Amino acid sequence: MTAWDQRPIEIRNLFNPAFCGLVLFRALRAFEEEDDRGMPFSLTLLVLPLSLQKEARDTLLRGKRRYFLSLVSANPQMLVGFANRATTLLPFTFEALGLLMQLGTILAQPDGRLITESKGVRKSETGSAETVECQRVARFLGKQFAAVGDAATIYTTLGVRP
């Protein structure tokens, strides 16, 4: 990972660890509402590529009354470049998760699941319209991932190997 002060300003703004951490936290918290054991670590790697990319985010927002698996199968354009996008965003996901752990807002369980601690994170979704959309999609993903319940099924549906 490039040192913070050596990153282009666009990267610092778009992939700010605090913002990416907030998006991840929203997904983790929503997952816990459905399954109190917490989200498997492997699923956290899918949240940012689906929440931050505008086309995928718009598709998920439009179809949020449908199930995730049927939504993806009905909109295959979401999968174009997804594996590359997910790989590219891995360092930013790791950095955001590290920040959340350092702040004590998430905890890793012995079975590899992540659970949230409510301290330090506002319940309300604030910010620009776009940042609120990212948080809403992350919350939707958290609930849908919990409903599916199997990481391998989600990965297969998205066309990537876990």
In tens, the pLDDT along 62-82 reads 887 889 999 999 999 988 999
Least confident among 8-17, 42-51, 70-79, 126-135: 8-17
Rounded to two decimals, what is the model's pTM?
0.91
Q: ∠ CA(130), CA(133), CA(134), 5° rounding?
A: 90
Number of domain units in the chain: 1
Residue 111 lies in a domain: yes
In a domain, 162, yes or no: no
Domain that holds residue 103: 4-157
For residues 156 and 2, which has the higher predicted lDDT (pLDDT)?
156
Q: What is the DSSP letter of 119?
A: T
| 75 part of a folded domain | yes
